[in-house]
């Protein structure tokens, strides 16, 4: 807590420095040094916890509780990366998470693109009304639906199945995606669909063969956001899933460290598995970094005008 | 918004120009395209909104039919329940601690990363990294980092001869600790500010430089006004998200010690979906949901109402 305010104060100085034009050597050098020192500090805050997690994952289960704590393991217990996932039932949780996430990404992106296409490029009565209703529903906090939907799912036999986690995505579950899709469709020249129409293409063909290739950045961005949302979701599976063999990773991992009956969780097993849990989002992030930045940038710039 | 209405106009004009032959099929196709979203809107927005308002006026355990009791849930909340005011106070404390810090740190980080230095992309990537990682993975990691005996935080503080703390286990430090964990994800705030900063025209800075403006006045008179619409968006996004914080207190402290981190969301969850052996109070929890909902609407309305006072908008026709 004590270190953070200095981090906030320090960057302000070099941040506004470029406007000072005088080419004096000394202040520039000081500014550059200050920048790199701050940069090093920021990187350390972000990375050290993760490195520490890996060292815990390599320690034996008793070495974790050595006092005073050692930063590096004395003996490297690589077997944690095999035994840990096994103790947590990682393979099954991973499979569950993969199925749930894949289906909700496909559903969420597909229905949002369809709705965005209609709202941006087709003329029909009620277009504006539906747009404002969808956008307005972004303001509705998710918790309002929790209790009524829980009862609804229970009454139609969906409790303790994956359906409550997947079906809403196929019904335009994320209004933000509809908004982003519409925004992107509006930017495409209308002469393109007119040309396609003259060539005799119907709406379905225009949508799948003309529009989807043109809007690739939009749906890749949405897929990433949807992937993150589903992979990270904790409250919904916690409420809707009862049997542990149906849990996704988020609930399964969290339950491993909530101590049952005074038993201390095995932290070295846990941290080794935690690393595996982090890997899929990490891979997606580094493979598609530009879309992460673009997607949120689009949110920023569309709201600015 | 102006681009939207202009697009609408352009299309109506074209509509009169002879393209209306297909209007009938357009309407049908359009409703086919948005049908899933309309069904979803009805089932997942309209229905829960009405139903949850009704449930908040009933006594309901999820097994027998709800019994209408009028406003007695709300009366119980505000006058009888010993846990409600502490949970409201904890939520307010969290919002007041998290939102300003997240905005200040996010903006500072964005300005820091909006400069030309070799390696700035690496800093930006690493600052955004915690946002990408699964929330549960990072929260559980921090739970162990904040372990008073063997955690990383106290180990480092001890080596630097700084005072250590019990963090999550001390009633005074538990909420600041939860906020600290949330602030590790400040990269999310940063990235939106960064997009806003990059949209500020460079000429403004150049003009200010010619006029001899200092760093501070450039920040206050150019940067802040130019990004004020994004600042508004951020205030709304961060405040509504902070009011609904659930994962961090649930996993880090489960509301304790005492009621110190028992935020409204956690209280709703515990009343509506209690551990086995206790009866769910779904009507009562719905009343709490509505208190939270009204708080969120109030925040949005107030922020939007005072917008015209402090945001800059470009009214020049282009």
A67 touches chain B (CB under 8 A): yes
Distance of CA B155 to the CA centre of its chain: 32
User: How far does chain B reach from its first CA to its final CA, in angstroms?
Assistant: 14
Cβ contact (<8 Å) for B141 and A46?
no
- Between A20, A67, A304, which is nearest B229 by CB? A304
Q: What is the pLDDT of residue A112?
A: 92
Question: Tokens at residue A101, please?
Answer: 């996430």
Cβ contact (<8 Å) for A36 and B117?
yes
A172 touches chain B (CB under 8 A): yes
A294 touches chain B (CB under 8 A): no
Q: What is the pLDDT of residue B17?
A: 39
CA dihedral over B24, B30, B36, B42, signed as positive or negative: negative
Question: Tokens at residue B307, please?
Answer: 């917008």
Q: Using alpha carbons only, what angle is made at residue A281 by residues A275 and A286, rounded to the nearest 5 degrees?
A: 105
Q: What is the pLDDT of residue A110?
A: 92
- Is the distance from CB of A284 to CB of A227 less than 8 angstroms? yes
Q: In sequence order, what are the residues at sequence separation of 6 or more whose Cβ sits closer than 8 angstroms to the Cβ of residue B41?
A: A133, A134, A137, A172
Question: Tokens at residue B54, please?
Answer: 């009704």
Q: Which residue has the tokens 């747009």?
A: A131
Residue A2 pLDDT > 70: no
Contacts of B195 in chain A (CB under 8 A): 293, 296-297, 299-301
Contacts of B62 in chain A (CB under 8 A): 151, 154
Measured in angstroms, the CA of A104 and the nearest CA of chain B are apart by 14
Question: Tokens at residue A144, please?
Answer: 């309002």
Residue A9 pLDDT > 90: no
Q: How many CB pairs under 8 A join A and B?
A: 321
A283 touches chain B (CB under 8 A): no
Query: Which residues lie across from B68 on neighbouring strands?
Result: B58
Closest CA to B106 of B89, B130, B141: B130
| Residue B194: cis peptide before it, omega within 30 degrees of 0 | no
Of B199 and A96, the one with more pLDDT: A96
Cβ contact (<8 Å) for B45 and A178?
no
CB count within 10 Å of CB B247 equals 22
Closest CA to A117 of B33, B290, B248, B49: B33
- Is the distance from CB of A231 to CB of A237 less than 8 angstroms? no
> Which class for A267: exposed (0-12), middle (13-18), buried (19 or more C-beta within 10 A)?
buried
Measured in angstroms, the CA of A91 and the nearest CA of chain B are apart by 16
Q: What is the pLDDT of residue B311?
A: 66
Closest CA to B35 of A114, A139, A151, A60: A114
Measured in angstroms, the CA of B86 and the nearest CA of chain A are apart by 20
Per-residue pLDDT of chain B (318 residues; tens, 9 = 90+): 344 444 444 444 444 433 444 556 778 888 889 999 999 999 988 999 999 999 889 888 877 888 888 888 898 888 888 888 989 999 999 999 999 999 999 999 999 998 888 888 889 889 988 988 999 999 989 988 888 888 888 888 888 888 888 888 888 889 999 999 999 989 889 988 988 888 888 888 888 888 888 888 888 888 888 888 888 888 988 998 999 999 899 888 888 788 888 899 999 998 888 877 788 888 889 999 999 999 999 988 888 887 766 666 655 554
A6 touches chain B (CB under 8 A): no
Distance of CA B142 to the CA centre of its chain: 20
What dotted CATH number matches A87-304? 1.10.3720.10
pLDDT in tens, A288-299: 877 776 665 555
Cβ contact (<8 Å) for A122 and B205?
no
pLDDT in tens, A11-57: 333 444 444 444 455 667 888 888 899 999 999 999 999 998 888 88
> Which class for A101: exposed (0-12), middle (13-18), buried (19 or more C-beta within 10 A)?
buried
The total number of residues shown for chain A amounts to 305
User: How far does chain A reach from its first CA to its final CA, in angstroms?
Assistant: 37
Measured in angstroms, the CA of B229 and the nearest CA of chain A are apart by 6
- Is the distance from CB of A89 to CB of A252 less than 8 angstroms? yes
Measured in angstroms, the CA of A82 and the nearest CA of chain B are apart by 18
Contacts of B26 in chain A (CB under 8 A): 122-124, 203
- Which of B2, B134, B205 is the best mutation test for A, with the most CBs of A within 10 A? B134
Query: Which residues lie across from B64 on neighbouring strands?
Result: none
- DSSP classification of residue B170: S
List chain A domain ranges. Answer: 4-83, 87-304
Q: What is the pLDDT of residue B315?
A: 55
Contacts of B285 in chain A (CB under 8 A): 147
Q: In sequence order, what are the residues at sequence separation of 6 or more whose Cβ sits closer than 8 angstroms to the Cβ of residue A180?
A: A112, A116, A218, A221, A222, A295, A298, A299, A302
Give the separation between CA A137 and CA A146, rounded to whole angstroms.
15
Cβ contact (<8 Å) for A304 and B209?
no
Q: What is the pLDDT of residue B278?
A: 80
Mean pLDDT calculated for residue range A94-102: 93
Mean pLDDT calculated for residue range A206-218: 87
Q: What is the pLDDT of residue B308?
A: 67
Give the separation between CA B2 and CA A122, rounded to whole angstroms.
19
Contacts of B250 in chain A (CB under 8 A): 234
Distance of CA A100 to the CA centre of its chain: 14
Q: What is the pLDDT of residue B314?
A: 58
A277 touches chain B (CB under 8 A): yes
Give alpha helix (H) positions in chain B: 2-16, 23-41, 47-55, 72-75, 84-113, 120-132, 135-145, 152-159, 174-183, 187-198, 202-210, 215-218, 224-243, 247-252, 264-272, 282-305, 307-310
- DSSP classification of residue B278: S
Q: What is the pLDDT of residue B39?
A: 92
Tell me the whole-structure pTM to 2 decimals: 0.82
pLDDT in tens, A124-167: 888 889 999 988 888 888 888 888 998 899 889 888 899 999 99
- DSSP classification of residue B59: E
- Which of A147, A287, A299 is the best mutation test for B, with the most CBs of B within 10 A? A147
Which domains, and CATH codes, for chain B? 81-310 (1.10.3720.10)
Residue A105 pLDDT > 90: yes
Indicate the helix (H) or strand (E) that contains B68: strand B67-68
Contacts of A249 in chain B (CB under 8 A): 134, 136
Contacts of A20 in chain B (CB under 8 A): 209, 215
pLDDT in tens, A160-200: 899 999 998 899 878 888 988 888 888 888 888 888 888 88
Mean pLDDT calculated for residue range A76-90: 81
Give the separation between CA B172 and CA B93, rounded to whole angstroms.
12
User: Which 3 state secondary structure label does DSSP give A198?
Assistant: helix
A297 touches chain B (CB under 8 A): yes
Measured in angstroms, the CA of A245 and the nearest CA of chain B are apart by 18
Cβ contact (<8 Å) for B41 and A133?
yes
Could you tell me the pLDDT band of residue A8, with boundaries at 50, 70 and 90? very low
C-alpha distances (whole Å) from A154 to each of A101, A158, B37 are 22, 6, 23
Contacts of A117 in chain B (CB under 8 A): 33
Cβ contact (<8 Å) for A114 and B34?
yes
Residue-averaged pLDDT of chain A:
81
């Amino acid at each position: 807590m004590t270190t953070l305010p200095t981090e906030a104060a320090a960057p302000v100085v070099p941040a506004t420095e470029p406007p000072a034009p005088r080419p004096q050597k000394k202040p520039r050098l000081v500014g550059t040094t200050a920048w790199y020192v701050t940069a090093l500090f920021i990187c350390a805050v972000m990375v050290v916890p993760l490195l520490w997690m890996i060292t815990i994952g390599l320690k034996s289960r008793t070495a974790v509780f050595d006092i005073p704590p050692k930063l590096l393991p004395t003996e490297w217990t690589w077997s944690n990366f095999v035994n840990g996932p096994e103790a947590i039932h990682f393979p099954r949780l991973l499979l569950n998470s993969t199925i749930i996430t894949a289906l909700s990404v496909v559903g969420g992106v597909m229905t949002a693109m369809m709705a965005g296409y209609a709202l941006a490029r087709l003329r029909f009565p009620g277009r504006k009304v539906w747009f404002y209703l969808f956008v307005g529903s972004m303001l509705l906090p998710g918790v309002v639906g929790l209790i009524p939907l829980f009862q609804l799912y229970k009454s139609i036999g969906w409790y303790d199945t994956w359906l409550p986690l997947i079906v809403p995505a196929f019904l335009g579950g994320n209004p933000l995606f509809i908004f982003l899709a519409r925004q992107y469709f509006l930017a495409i020249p209308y002469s393109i669909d007119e040309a396609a129409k003259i060539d005799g293409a119907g709406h379905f063909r225009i949508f799948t063969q003309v529009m989807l290739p043109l809007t690739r950045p939009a749906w890749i961005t949405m897929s990433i956001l949807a992937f993150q949302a589903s992979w990270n979701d904790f409250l919904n599976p916690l409420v809707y899933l009862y049997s542990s063999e149906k849990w996704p990773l988020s609930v399964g991992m969290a339950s491993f460290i909530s101590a049952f009956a005074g038993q201390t969780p095995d932290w070295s097993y846990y941290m080794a598995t935690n690393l595996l849990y982090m890997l899929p989002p990490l891979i997606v992030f580094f493979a598609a970094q530009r879309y992460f930045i673009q997607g949120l940038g689009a949110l920023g710039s569309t709201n600015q005008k | 918004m102006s681009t939207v209405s202009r697009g609408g106009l352009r299309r109506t004009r074209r509509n009169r120009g002879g393209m209306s032959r297909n209007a009938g099929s357009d309407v049908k196709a359009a409703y086919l395209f948005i049908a899933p979203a309309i069904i979803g809107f009805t089932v997942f927005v309209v229905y829960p909104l009405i139903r949850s308002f009704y449930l908040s006026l009933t006594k309901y355990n999820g097994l027998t039919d709800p019994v209408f009791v009028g406003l007695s849930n709300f009366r119980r909340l505000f006058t009888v329940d010993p846990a409600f005011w502490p949970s409201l106070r904890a939520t307010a404390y969290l919002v007041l601690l998290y939102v300003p810090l997240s905005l200040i740190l996010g903006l500072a980080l964005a300005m820091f990363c909006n400069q030309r230095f070799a390696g700035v992309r690496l800093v930006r990537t690493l600052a955004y990294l915690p946002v990408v990682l699964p929330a549960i993975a990072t929260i559980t990691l921090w739970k162990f980092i904040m372990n008073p005996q063997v955690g990383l935080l106290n180990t480092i503080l001890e080596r630097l001869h700084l005072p250590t703390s019990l963090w999550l286990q001390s009633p005074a430090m538990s909420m600041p600790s939860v906020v600290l964990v949330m602030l590790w994800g400040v990269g999310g705030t940063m990235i939106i500010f960064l997009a806003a900063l990059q949209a500020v025209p460079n000429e403004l800075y150049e003009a200010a430089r010619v006029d001899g403006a200092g760093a501070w006045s450039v920040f206050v008179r150019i940067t802040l006004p130019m990004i004020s619409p994004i600042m508004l968006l951020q205030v709304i996004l961060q405040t509504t998200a902070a009011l609904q914080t659930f994962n961090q207190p649930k996993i880090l402290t489960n509301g304790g010690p005492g009621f110190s981190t028992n935020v409204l969301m956690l209280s709703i969850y515990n009343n509506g979906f209690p551990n086995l052996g206790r009866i769910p109070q779904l009507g009562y929890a719905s009343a709490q949901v509505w208190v939270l909902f009204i708080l969120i609407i109030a925040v949005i309305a107030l922020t939007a109402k005072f917008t015209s006072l402090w945001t800059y908008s470009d009214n020049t026709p282009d």
